[in-house]
């Protein structure tokens, strides 16, 4: 069954987040996703708020830009959230927008090298390992979390191009694909992520998360049909972003997805 979720985008003021989170909890929506976009809202702070306001809904972060964050700090934050709210946090990692990373003085000369080093170090720390590494960007000397999560969270990597999507399959639980991903793009993307997974001999199938823009006010049947096509192509998580001049308020959209679209997708 394809997991359904909605996005609280960072162009919305943070004080509106609680109403959306409560609508997701009340309506039974599986996941609410947030973005850490410069220079809008922190992914960790907003995730913690949603988790504290709710009891059931899972919270995805897509994406945490790795040039912006020390890997040990990210591991501490995610481990804390996972211990406080077991199984409810889904962190996504990504390159970050190059222009923004340059603005803050953290643009990496080799984004792929940074993402590879960072993802490997983060997953090791979240697994409770003592990590020492002297990479080009990530340098740790016998770092071990005092309070690692009992079960590590599901870490995903966001990407568009072949190298990044392949790395997602190799080093993480799966991939996050952007709203620009068309149905015809999915076979190649799934092949890349599975190639990466086979390289590292990771068991099971990867999670494939796709952000899907939903313009204005489609009918439940129209939206369910669109989601079903993505599911048939191999998408495991359909995460919806409401856009358009006639888009409903986000709490209303969340309840529409959970109460009217979900039964049709099942």
Q: Which residues of 101-140 are buried (b: 16+ CB within 10 A; e: fewer)?
A: beeeebebeebeebbbbbbbbbbbbbeeeebeeeeebbeb
**What is the pLDDT at residue 180?**
84
Read off the pLDDT band of 179 (50, 70, 90). confident
Domain ranges of the chain: 3-265
Structure confidence at residue 14 (pLDDT): 97
Strand 31-34 and strand 3-8: the pairing is: parallel
What is the structure's pLDDT at 244?
A: 94
Could you tell me how many helices (H) and strands (E) the chain has, helices first?
Answer: 10, 10
The string of pLDDT tens digits covering residues 197-233 is: 999 988 889 999 999 999 999 999 999 999 999 999 9
**Max Cα–Cα distance, the chain, nearest Å:** 55
pLDDT for 266 beyond 90: no
Query: How does pLDDT run across 96-144, given as a tens digit for each residue?
Result: 999 999 999 999 999 999 999 999 999 999 999 999 999 999 999 999 9
β-bridge pairing 174-177 and 156-158: parallel
pLDDT in tens, 31-55: 999 999 999 999 999 999 999 999 9
Judge contact between 253 and 247, C-beta under 8 A. yes
For residue 178, name the pLDDT band (cuts at 50, 70, 90): confident
> Six-digit token pair at 161?
């191009």
Angle between helices 71-84 and 111-126 (to 10 degrees): 40
- Residue 1: band (very low, low, confident or very high) from pLDDT cuts 50, 70, 90: confident
The predicted model scores a pTM of 0.96
User: Which option is the CATH number for 3-265: 1.10.10.10, 2.70.210.12, 3.30.365.10, 3.20.20.30?
Assistant: 3.20.20.30
């Amino acid at each position: 069954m394809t997991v359904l979720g909605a996005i609280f985008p960072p162009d919305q003021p943070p004080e509106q987040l609680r109403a959306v989170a409560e609508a997701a909890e009340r309506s039974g929506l599986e996941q609410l996703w947030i973005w850490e976009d410069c220079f809008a809202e922190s992914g960790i702070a907003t995730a913690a708020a949603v988790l504290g306001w709710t009891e059931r809904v899972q919270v995805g972060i897509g994406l945490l830009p790795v040039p912006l964050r020390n890997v040990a700090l990210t591991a501490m934050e995610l481990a804390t959230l996972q211990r406080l709210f077991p199984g409810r946090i889904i962190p996504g990692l990504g390159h970050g927008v190059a222009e923004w990373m340059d603005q803050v003085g953290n643009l990496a000369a080799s984004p792929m090298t940074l993402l590879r080093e960072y993802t490997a170090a983060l997953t090791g720390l979240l697994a409770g390992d003592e990590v020492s590494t002297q990479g080009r960007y990530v340098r740790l000397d016998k770092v071990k979390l005092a309070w690692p999560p009992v079960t590590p969270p599901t870490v995903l990597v966001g990407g568009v191009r072949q190298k990044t999507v392949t790395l997602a399959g190799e080093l993480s639980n799966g991939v996050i694909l952007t709203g620009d991903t068309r149905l015809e793009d999915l076979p190649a993307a799934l092949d890349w992520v599975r190639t990466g997974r086979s390289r590292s001999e990771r068991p099971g199938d990867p999670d494939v998360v796709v952000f899907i823009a939903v313009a204005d006010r489609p009918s439940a049947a129209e939206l369910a049909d669109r989601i079903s096509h993505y599911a048939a192509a191999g998408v495991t998580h359909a995460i919806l972003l409401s856009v358009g001049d006639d888009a409903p308020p986000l709490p209303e959209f969340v309840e529409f997805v959970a109460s009217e679209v979900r039964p049709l997708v099942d």
